[in-house]
Amino acid sequence: MHHSVPVHNKTVKQLTKLRNKKGAGFQAHRAFQQKKADAQDPADQEGWFRSMHTVFEEIDVTFRFLNPATPQRFLDLGCCPGGFASYILSRYPKTSGVGISLPIEHGGHAFLLEDYLRPRFEIIWGDFTKYQLGPMFMDDPTLEMLPAIVGQPLPLPFSLGSIAPERFDVIIVDGHPLRGLDSNGGKRVGETSQSAEFYTMGDQIFISQLITALQAVLTSFSSLPNFSSTSSSSVNAQGPTVVMKLSKPERLITAQVMYMFDVLSASVGTWKPIHMHATRSTFYLIAMGVGRSLRYQPVFIAGPAPCGRPGSASSPLTSPSPPSQPSPREFPPILAMQAIRHYLDSLRCLWFSLKYGGSSQTPRSEASGSDIGSPVHSHLGSPRRLQPGDLNFIVSEDVIVNEYRPRLEQLSRHVWEVEKASLSGWYKTEGFS
């Protein structure tokens, strides 16, 4: 979904012209970058591993959210070949981590983490398009449960046993769809990254990782010994940091996700890595202290619960009038937890719609006609792409354009300037006008 927010920024206008150049040379350069990102050749993967190590070093040097004196735990979504984990574990000897990555036999990257660091890192092989992440348990044999250490975002008709979810200090969201793979992980010779299935799979991975990350944030607070859902003073932790790869800040769904983390976090920044993302539209959002407090006063409104389920429970929504230069404010953490639950409920419903073409109405069991709580049969439709309006439960486009745009431009200026300068330099170096 490429719908963009209109921004009145000279750099963005110039950048758009550079992006729209259709020169064969740049297309070949972009294809080469994509091949390197997805390659399974050992030499290419080793280069990718080293590049990711350097990228996280850039982020760490800029934001310094890891504490070398304190044991910390991180979750790395889309972790292989392991460059991010390599940097964190080698730079911070008291850290340990867990990663989830696509299995090699399904086309994923090899796990290249150095041997001496592996005792402090656990890897879980899994496909983010194949986890149970909907508003209810799906009777779909192609799906599996989200690893228990992250916590479960939905009620289950059975017990997972005594495995307790963990608390994470850093949550990294960096997975992307691999070109040349179908939705079942099978290789397709000659398939390009422009296919509809590629983009549909990318949307599913995007929403699935966002659900997983927010669930990990929620679990990190609820697993604290003194956490109480009714006490605003019981959460004394700073809240985890989320590092999430996004694309094009001016794209509507990107702006809405940035707004969500800006609301939920003590502070938010962006970073455009110079080492390998410079000529691409990707960048990283760094949200620190997620869930610790709210930057804007939430508004409680009565209305339909997520998925259109009838109910009188009010849903917490963020204020439609955020300041353009917000300063962190200490609203009770319980309000942040309620907001995260609201976002999770809505994202789970969106996952169902993207996966099966479901509507905003309550999914029902084909066998019994029952509502939430019963297994639902999976043959309800085909996957679909993200559409404008899908993330309006976070914030509407109107609010982004009329209220949040100055803040969006403040967060995005560095990203746009680096990409513009890098593209201009590339065209000049290669002799393109």
Long-range (24+ apart) CB contacts under 8 A made by 141-149 are: 142/378, 143/378, 146/212, 146/215, 147/98, 147/100, 149/98
**pLDDT of the residue at 99:** 94
Can you read off the two tokens belonging to residue 147?
A: 């690893």
C-alpha distances in Å from residue 162, one per residue of 149, 152, 155, 165, 218: 11, 13, 16, 10, 19
Residues 6+ apart with CB under 8 A from 357: 380, 381, 382, 383, 384
Cα 336 from Cα 294, distance rounded (Å): 6
Residue 374 belongs to a domain: yes
CATH number at residue 244: 3.40.50.150
| CB count in 10 Å sphere of residue 219 | 22
Residue 41 belongs to a domain: no
**pLDDT of the residue at 43:** 80
Q: What is the pLDDT of residues 52-64, one digit of tens each?
A: 999 999 999 999 9
Residue 335 belongs to a domain: yes
**β-strands 282-288, 241-247: how paired?**
antiparallel
Report pTM: 0.83
| CB count in 10 Å sphere of residue 152 | 17
Cα 150 from Cα 168, distance rounded (Å): 9
Question: Cβ(204)–Cβ(143) under 8 Å?
Answer: no
Domain that holds residue 364: 10-15+46-429
Residues of the chain with pLDDT under 50: 24, 28, 155-162, 183, 185, 187-193, 227-236, 298-305, 309-321, 323-328, 358-375, 378
3-state secondary structure of 67: coil
Residue 20 belongs to a domain: no
**pLDDT of the residue at 317:** 43
DSSP readout, 311-337?
----EEEE-S---SS-------HHHHH
Residue 127 belongs to a domain: yes
Cis peptide before 240 (omega within 30 of 0): no
Phi, psi angles (nearest 5°) of residue 409 = -70, -35
Cα 386 from Cα 384, distance rounded (Å): 7
Residue 36 belongs to a domain: no
Nearest to 377 by CA among 122, 138, 106, 111: 138
Can you read off the two tokens belonging to residue 389?
A: 């309006």
Residue 190 belongs to a domain: yes
C-alpha distances in Å from residue 37, one per residue of 30, 31, 34, 80, 159: 11, 10, 5, 11, 39
At CA 22, angle to CA 32 and CA 188, rounded to 5?
45
**pLDDT of the residue at 294:** 74
Residue 23 belongs to a domain: no
Burial of 291 (0-12, 13-18, 19+ CB in 10 A): buried
Instruction: Please give the span between the terminal C-alpha atoms of the chain, in angstroms, as a whole number.
Output: 30
Cα 341 from Cα 123, distance rounded (Å): 27
Sole residue written with tokens 């796990």: 111
Say how many domains are in the chain: 1
Largest CA distance in the chain: 66
Burial of 216 (0-12, 13-18, 19+ CB in 10 A): buried
